[in-house]
Amino acid sequence: MSEVPKKQMAQVIEQKGGPCVYKEIDVPTPGPDEVLVNIKYSGVCHTDLHAMNGDWPLPVKMPLVGGHEGAGVVVARGELVDDIEIGDLAGIKWLNGSCLSCDFCMQSDESLCPKALLSGYTVDGTFQQYAIGKAAHVARIPKGTDLAAIAPVLCAGITVYKGIKEAGVRPGQTIAIVGAGGGLGSLALQYCKAMGIHAIGVDGGEEKEKLCMSMGATAFVDFTKSKNIVKDVQAKTNEGLGPHAVILLAVSEKPFQQAAEYVRPRGTVVCIGMPAGAYLKAPVFDTVVRMVRFQGSYVGNRQDTKEALDFFSRGLIKAPYKIVGLTELNDVYDKMKQGAIAGRYVVDTSK
Ligand code: 8ID
Ligand code: ZN
């Protein structure tokens, strides 16, 4: 561990509501089953803002180093770790660790593990130069990968890839992606394209429309202009029957209540976005006679991670991101609060 410094720079949330404070802290030491990753780039997910605001009914560690889309280089490992080497590229994602032996872990639903450790939420995350991850869970990143470009895949990519699988659609069918111009949304459009699925982007404003069409959306509906979202989304589908699935990524409640109305009969509404205090609401009669399915989808397991990263490595996933210094994290949150981010911001931990 000789080249690993004792001190590092980090963005620390010292109290609920923030802001982040850029300061020097100790470099952590990995436990027996952990690795220490020198984080080069970390994507900024809307979840990081939820964590800072403390607006979910799940207790958050405080003080906290946020971040869970961290890509970097393994610089130290615990004595039980023998399947990842110093110098290997690795990613620290939302699911930092899990027990690997409960019913859920045994069935590869690791995100449901009651002892799951969450990066940048229940354990310190990746808005620091050196972060810890359980070796079993860190994403293996192939040598030569562009670490800034892959960072958003570590949460946004894995999550939407899993969500598409949970939607149960086939190539040639149609998914409406709600919140398509955001971080998760732009990646969802790219995964749909790679998987041969038609994607209708739903978001607001011309910048996001342009982005969605360039990411491979087959159509776009602007929720800020539409007078009837239900009709407008259905009108973009084959025979006006509605999309086979809706993937909800928006951070507002309303679209969660509209989706059941425009999804195709026998279709699936996949909930991924988590607006604070929001509820799902749908008419029971319609849900029954249209045989609508509601599905929550929460990040992905280790195999989903491997598959989602493989799509990236094959050059199929190219979503836009802007690189800023770690020092500028509070500015990124300000833009995020205004819904003004098209795509993803990635912080460079050396700046
Ligand atoms: O595992 C999970 N379920 C998981 C994983 C990662 C992230 C869930 N999330 C959650 C985040 O916590 C957040 O609640 O997904 C949500 C979206 O994260 P994000 O993509 O990182 O957020 P963003 O970049 O701010 O994008 C949100 C988009 O929603 C649009 C906004 O314009 C923005 O582009 N949007 C909103 I707000 N209201 C909308 C509406 N009514 C809308 N789009 C369409 N219709
Ligand atoms: Zn995330």
Token pair recorded at residue 13: 């949330």
Nearest to 319, CA basis, from 225, 186, 218: 186
The predicted model gives 96-106 an average pLDDT of 98
Amino acid at 287: T
pLDDT of residue 238: 86
Q: What is the DSSP string of 191-239?
A: HHHHTT-EEEEEESSHHHHHHHHHTT-SEEEETTT-S-HHHHHHHTSGG
CA of 47 to the centre of ligand 2 (A): 5
Report residue 305 as tokens.
């991670």
pLDDT in tens, 154-202: 999 999 999 999 999 999 999 999 999 999 999 999 999 999 999 999 9
Amino acid at 30: P
- Determine what percent of the chain is predicted with pLDDT higher than 70: 99
- Residue whose CA is closest, atom 37 of ligand 1? 251
Mutate to test the pocket of ligand 1, among 42, 44, 46 (most ligand atoms within 8 A of CB): 46
**Closest ligand 1 atom, residue 299 Cα:** 1
Percent of the chain at pLDDT > 90 equals: 98
pLDDT for 341 equals: 94
Strand partners, 202: 178, 221
Average of per-residue pLDDT across 66-84:
98
Question: pLDDT tens-digit profile of 257-278?
Answer: 999 999 999 999 999 999 999 9
Are 192 and 198 within 8 A, CB to CB? yes
Backbone angles phi and psi of 22, in degrees to 5: -80, 115
CA of 87 to the centre of ligand 1 (A): 34
Residue 158 near ligand 1, beta carbon < 6 Å? no
- Give the model's confidence band at 121: pLDDT under 50 very low, under 70 low, under 90 confident, else very high: very high
Residue 202, ligand 1, Cβ within 6 A? yes
pLDDT at 167: 98
Q: Would you state the structure tokens that stand for residue 297, as one six-digit string?
A: 């989808």
The answer to whether 167 and 175 are in contact (CB under 8 A) is yes
Residue 5 reports pLDDT greater than 70: yes
What pLDDT is stored for residue 3 in this prediction? 83
Opening angle at CA 120, ends 72 and 347, nearest 5: 45
| Residue 273 Cβ < 6 Å to ligand 1 | yes
Q: What is the pTM of this model?
A: 0.97
Average the pLDDT over 32-43 and give the result. 98
Cβ–Cβ < 8 Å for 35, 4: no
Residue nearest ligand 1's atom 2 by CA: 298
pLDDT confidence of 245, banded at 50, 70, 90? very high
Q: Of ligand 1's atoms, which has the minimum distance to the CA of residue 275?
A: 14
Tell me the mean pLDDT in the region 37-65.
96
Long-range contacts from 47-50, C-beta under 8 angstroms, 24+ separation: 47/94, 47/120, 47/121, 47/155, 47/274, 48/120, 48/125, 48/127, 48/333, 49/333, 49/336, 49/337, 50/274, 50/276
CA dist., res. 307 & res. 153, Å (int): 11
Note the Cα 38 to chain centre separation in Å. 21
User: Which residue has tokens 């027996």?
Assistant: 32
* pLDDT at position 282 over 60: yes
Amino acid letter, 309: L
Domains of the chain, start order: 7-141+320-348 (3.90.180.10), 158-296 (3.40.50.720)
| Closest residue by Cα to residue 119 from 75, 158, 81, 79 | 158
CA of 60 to the centre of ligand 1 (A): 20
Whose CA is closest to 31, among 81, 92, 72? Answer: 81
Structural tokens at position 50:
């939820």
Q: Is the predicted pLDDT of residue 211 greater than 90, yes or no?
A: yes
pLDDT (average), residues 286-299? 97
User: Does 1 have pLDDT greater than 70?
Assistant: no
Name the nearest CA neighbour of 22 among 34, 14, 30.
Answer: 14
In the numeric block, the tokens 């991924």 are attached to 272
Could you give the C-alpha distances from 1 to 35, 76, 78, 86, in angstroms and in order?
12, 6, 11, 10
Task: Name the DSSP letter for residue 155.
Answer: T
Would you state the pLDDT for residue 2?
Answer: 55
Residue 137: exposed, middle, or buried by beta-carbon count in 10 A (0-12, 13-18, 19+)?
buried
Q: Of the candidates 216, 246, 30, 192, which has an alpha carbon nearest to the alpha carbon of residue 123? A: 30
Mean pLDDT of the 16-40 span: 97
- Mean pLDDT in residue range 144-158: 98
